[in-house]
Amino acid sequence: MAETLLKGSGITQRWGGLVAVNKVSIELERGTVHAVIGTNGAGKSTLINILSGEFPPTEGQIQLLGKDATHWSQAKRARQGLGRSYQRNTIFPDFTVFENCRLAAQAQVQRPWVWWNDAQKCKQSVEAANRALELSGLTEVKERFAGLLSHGQKRQLEIAMCLAIQPEVLLLDEPLAGMGAEETDRMLKLLANLKQGHAILLVEHDMDAVFKIADRITVMVNGSVIASDTPDQIRINPDVQTAYLGGH
């Protein structure tokens, strides 16, 4: 049995009368990609926001690395090993690619009171940034300004910034959005590579990619989970077919 790194139980989010997420339970294990699919408005992004600590859920518990993290701030969850990427790029366009990663890595070695030291000479964060760039294949463009990268590279940088904080769990919100075939392939290779040491939650609309890479798929409709199984089982699940895949 693989090690469970992140566990959400009975997560519910209500916005007034609307139930955006309804009693969702989910487990992320090391060495696996767990994909969450569903139509727009199914509550996937809300779920990812709750797991990463963007806001607290109305109900439910979250365990990170065996500890109760329900009331931890987003920053604390990140420091404890939870990295997330955003659907929209959240890179720092005026910084170099390297500095984007270095600044993220600095979160693991925060020393704001050492005001006289040059942050760019901080060894730990420089090393962590270089490792993250290496892993995500951006070393060649590390001196470029992030705003000048191609769309695919920006998405890679988004992931690299997650890796820079050396997380155990990765929550990836549509990392393939807007990518061409070649860029998608490169990203899938990267994800397959990252799978080894991490537990990955993948929210994605590209079904071919999801079925290619996921070890487990959870299907959400109107905030509820209607199925959670291996890709092969999901493919033949009649509920999923009527609700979402439309006979895919």
Partner 1 sequence: MDKFFSGQFLFVGLLFAGLALYPLFGSSYGLDLVSKIMIYAILAMSLELLVGSTGLVCFGQAAFFGIGAYIAVLFSPESESASLLWLLPASILAAATYALFVGALSLRTKGVYFIMVTLAFAQMAYYVVHDTKLGGGTDGIYLYFKPILGSVIDLNDAKVLYFFTWVFLVWTFVFLAILLRSHFGRVLAGIRINEQRMRASGFSTYPYKLAAFTTSGGIAGLAGFLFAVKDGFVNPEMMSWHLSGALLIMIILGGLGHLRGAIIGAFAFVFLQEFFKSPAIFGDFAKHWQLGLGLTIIACVALLPKGLVGLPEVLRKRLYGSRQPRDAQVVLK
The footprint of partner 1 (CB under 8 A) covers 52, 54, 73-76, 78-79, 83-84, 86, 90-95, 99, 103-104, 106-108, 110-120, 122, 143-145, 148, 161, 164-165
Going by their DSSP bridges, the two strands 4-15 and 59-64 should be labelled as antiparallel
Q: In the bound complex, what is the minimum distance in angstroms from residue 136's beta carbon to partner 1? A: 15
Handedness of CA 74, 58, 32, 63 (dihedral sign): positive
Q: In the bound complex, what is the minimum distance in angstroms from residue 138's beta carbon to partner 1? A: 14
Q: In the bound complex, what is the minimum distance in angstroms from residue 162's beta carbon to partner 1? A: 8
Q: Which is nearer to partner 1, 145 or 211 (CB)?
A: 145
Q: Which is nearer to partner 1, 164 or 217 (CB)?
A: 164
Q: Which is nearer to partner 1, 53 or 223 (CB)?
A: 53
Quick check: 210 and 202 in contact, CB under 8 A? yes
Q: At what angle do helices 97-106 and 151-164 cross, to 10 degrees?
A: 20
Quick check: 202 and 19 in contact, CB under 8 A? no
Quick check: 153 and 126 in contact, CB under 8 A? no
Q: Which is nearer to partner 1, 76 or 189 (CB)?
A: 76
Q: Where are the beta strands (DSSP E) in the chain?
A: 4-15, 18-29, 32-38, 59-64, 67-68, 82-85, 169-173, 199-203, 216-221, 224-229
Q: In the bound complex, what is the minimum distance in angstroms from residue 211's beta carbon to partner 1? A: 28
User: Which single residue is written with the structure tokens 């549509």?
Assistant: 174
Q: In the bound complex, what is the minimum distance in angstroms from residue 18's beta carbon to partner 1? A: 23
Q: Which is nearer to partner 1, 84 or 186 (CB)?
A: 84
